[in-house]
């Protein structure tokens, strides 16, 4: 496997907020989801990786094998970005933006850029402000792919897209990954959709990295038990946390192979369930 | 397909960007505001012809202009693949193009105003080079710093104006902004240390900061005197005296000092981001 991103941040303190012991990597050909509730530190982490925030001492980020600290230019050549809040001047057309900023990349391929704009049905001469949200995302993607990025960093790219456009966008990402030359780190609040597509998941909570594993491994590590609350005391020692409603109760346990009472329904949790229990403080770092 | 970037290439890109900006910015509400500024300048020039004083509308108009067209660089300065050295080149060229753009727009508005009012354009230009250009140079220096510290796609003023820094929406959108639903480590309350409490290094930084701020304040006062107070208090008689020419030279010196000070600060900001600036083979080539 070809590693396109390696992150090692022992500690980052900024504006009263701290990121602690962040360490993960992204492989080419795979989609890695960066999840966490609001304020978990996702945007701060993405800002450090993309070079918008300075790297703290003892930390390093390697992009495409280049250290962001030592070889910033080379690292950035390998990185493409797709942000919800586009960094490009919205008063410029896609064509002009490409011609203005593309040549700053050594591997810029204008022909490919034009081809991608056509494929994504982006009007070349319309100013970016007049493009729909989905089109803006696709434009950023076209720009990133045209300079041969091997690592794509995406911050909430699908947040304000309608479901049809979102599917289309995710399809494009799947195609990008099929080539196995490019890896993607994607942060999103659309957890359920991302759960099905992400090969790996990094979950943050209050600046701490809770898990960094394959999505399947993380979800398989836990079980949700549902049923009448009166039955819960029999499993008290195994239940990490519970969520009660008027008619039913739900608890989360570690999936360690031990049998569960037959009169309790037992299902695999979703990432949303896990985020809920992480926020409750019952699912902790190191459990996966 | 390797492409090398030369200084000339930066220049051409940015001239193109400047020209595009000119076409774009003068359309819409900003264009309307530029038109209002031109009307104001016409009235001012008509007044200047009738009275003893010389035009002071330039000073007001130039303030309007810089407020209307803040440089917008956003995150790109840090996202594009630049080494530190290249980032500094790019910033220099960006600001140069931006200043040329500002001067070009100002000349255009002034020419229109002179044409309508019948005021001598040569006289208008003389006043521009003696009184107003220093202000624009000073402003460009401050903007170098503003663009260097700017991280979001917002107007560069956000990063130099305390008023903007204190409003809530700015905090919400900025990286590291405060989110209420998150427990944060509280930093100890910051109190300005007394001289005796400072280490030698901190005292050096404090002295540098004081010097920077002092130069800026003096520079702005001299520029304001040159462009507003002198012409208003001393009228036409002042135009052509030692006070005027001495003031011009002093204002240029101050402008250069302010640019120097802010360039230093921008340089420091850019160099906070780690990179050795080595040129190496790039992936995927």
Enter the tokens of residue B176.
């590291």
SS3 category, B121: helix
| B-contacting residues in A 68-87 (Cβ below 8 Å) | 68-74, 76-78, 81, 83, 85-87
CB proximity B3 to A under 8 Å: yes
**Cβ-count burial of A179 within 10 angstroms (0-12 exposed, 13-18 middle, 19+ buried)?**
exposed
CB proximity B282 to A under 8 Å: yes
What pLDDT does residue B177 have? 36
SS3 category, B182: coil
Complex-level ipTM beyond the 0.90 threshold: no
Asked whether the predicted pLDDT for residue A137 surpasses 70, the reply is yes
Give the closest residue to A189 by CA, choosing from A157, A162, A167, A223. A157
Rounded to 5°, angle at Cα B50 from B48 and B54: 25
| B-contacting residues in A 165-184 (Cβ below 8 Å) | 181
- Tell me the whole-structure pTM to 2 decimals: 0.75
DSSP state of A57: T
| A-contacting residues in B 84-113 (Cβ below 8 Å) | 84, 86
What pLDDT does residue A96 have? 84
What are the structural domains of chain A?
A: 3-78+150-217 (3.40.50.300), 93-145 (no CATH), 221-280 (no CATH)
Of A66-75, A115-124, A248-257, the one with minimum mean pLDDT is A248-257
Distance to chain B for A264, nearest Cα, Å: 34
CB proximity A16 to B under 8 Å: yes
DSSP state of B52: S
Say if the Cβ atoms of B176 and A15 lie within 8 Å.
yes
Nearest CB to A70 within list B74, B272, B275? B275
CB proximity A8 to B under 8 Å: no
SS3 category, A32: strand
Number of Cβ within 10 Å of residue A222's Cβ equals 19
Return per-residue pLDDT of chain B as tens, 285 residues.
444 556 676 667 667 666 666 666 666 777 777 778 778 888 888 887 777 666 667 777 777 777 776 776 667 888 889 877 778 877 887 777 778 777 887 888 888 888 888 888 888 888 888 888 888 888 888 888 888 876 555 555 555 544 433 333 333 333 333 333 333 444 444 566 777 777 888 888 888 888 888 888 888 888 777 766 766 666 666 666 766 777 788 888 888 988 888 888 888 877 765 444 443 344 443
Strands A66-67 and A79-83: unpaired
Asked whether the predicted pLDDT for residue A103 surpasses 80, the reply is yes
pLDDT band at A9; cut points 50, 70, 90: very high
């Amino acid at each position: 496997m070809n590693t396109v991103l390696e992150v090692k941040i022992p500690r980052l303190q900024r504006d009263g907020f701290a990121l602690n012991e962040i360490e993960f990597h992204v492989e080419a050909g795979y989609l890695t989801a960066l999840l966490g509730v609001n304020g978990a530190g996702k945007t701060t982490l993405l800002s450090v990786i993309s070079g918008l925030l300075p790297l703290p001492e003892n930390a390093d980020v390697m992009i495409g094998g280049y250290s962001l600290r030592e070889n910033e230019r080379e690292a950035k050549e390998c990185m493409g970005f797709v942000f919800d809040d586009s960094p490009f001047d919205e008063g410029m057309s896609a064509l002009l933006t490409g011609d203005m900023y593309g040549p700053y990349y050594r591997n810029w391929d204008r022909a490919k850029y034009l081809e991608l704009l056509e494929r994504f049905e982006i009007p070349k001469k319309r100013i970016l402000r007049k493009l729909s949200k989905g089109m803006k995302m696709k434009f950023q993607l076209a720009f990133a792919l045209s300079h041969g990025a091997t690592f794509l960093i995406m911050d909430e790219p699908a947040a304000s897209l309608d479901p049809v456009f979102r599917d289309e966008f995710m399809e494009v990402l799947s195609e990008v990954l099929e080539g196995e030359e490019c890896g993607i780190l994607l942060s999103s609040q659309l957890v359920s959709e991302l759960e099905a597509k992400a090969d790996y998941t990094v979950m943050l909570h209050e600046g701490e990295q809770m898990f960094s594993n394959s999505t399947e491994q993380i979800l398989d590590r836990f079980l949700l038990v549902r049923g009448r609350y009166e039955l819960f005391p029999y499993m008290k020692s195994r239940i990490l946390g519970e969520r009660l409603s008027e008619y039913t109760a739900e608890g989360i346990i570690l999936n360690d192979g031990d049998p569960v009472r037959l009169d309790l329904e037992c299902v695999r949790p979703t990432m949303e369930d896990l985020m809920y229990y992480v926020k409750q403080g019952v699912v902790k770092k190191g459990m996966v | 397909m390797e492409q090398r970037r030369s200084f000339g290439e930066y220049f051409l890109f940015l001239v193109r960007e400047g020209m595009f900006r000119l076409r774009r910015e003068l359309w819409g509400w900003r264009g309307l505001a530029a038109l209002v500024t031109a009307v104001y300048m016409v009235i001012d020039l008509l007044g200047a012809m009738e009275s003893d004083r010389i035009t002071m509308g330039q000073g007001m108009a130039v303030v309007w202009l810089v407020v209307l067209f803040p440089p917008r660089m956003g995150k790109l300065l840090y996202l594009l693949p630049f080494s530190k050295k290249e980032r500094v080149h790019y910033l220099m060229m960006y600001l140069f193009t931006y200043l040329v753009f500002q001067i070009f727009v100002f000349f255009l508005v002034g020419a229109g105003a002179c044409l309508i009012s019948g005021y001598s354009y040569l006289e208008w230009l003389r006043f521009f080079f003696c009184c107003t250009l220093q202000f624009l140079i000073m402003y460009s220096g401050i903007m170098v710093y503003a663009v260097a510290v700017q991280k979001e796609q917002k107007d560069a003023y956000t990063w130099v104006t305390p008023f903007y820094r204190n409003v809530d929406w700015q905090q919400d959108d900025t990286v590291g902004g405060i989110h209420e639903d998150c427990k944060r480590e509280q930093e100890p309350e910051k109190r300005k240390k007394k001289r005796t409490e400072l280490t030698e290094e901190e005292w050096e930084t404090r002295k540098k900061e004081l010097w920077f701020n002092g130069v800026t304040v003096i520079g702005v006062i001299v520029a304001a005197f040159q462009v507003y107070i002198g012409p208003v208090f001393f009228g036409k008689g002042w135009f052509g005296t030692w006070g005027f020419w001495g003031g011009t030279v002093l204002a240029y010196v101050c402008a250069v000092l302010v640019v120097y000070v802010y360039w230093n600060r921008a340089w420091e900001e850019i160099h906070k981001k780690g990179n050795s600036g080595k040129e190496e083979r790039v992936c995927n080539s």
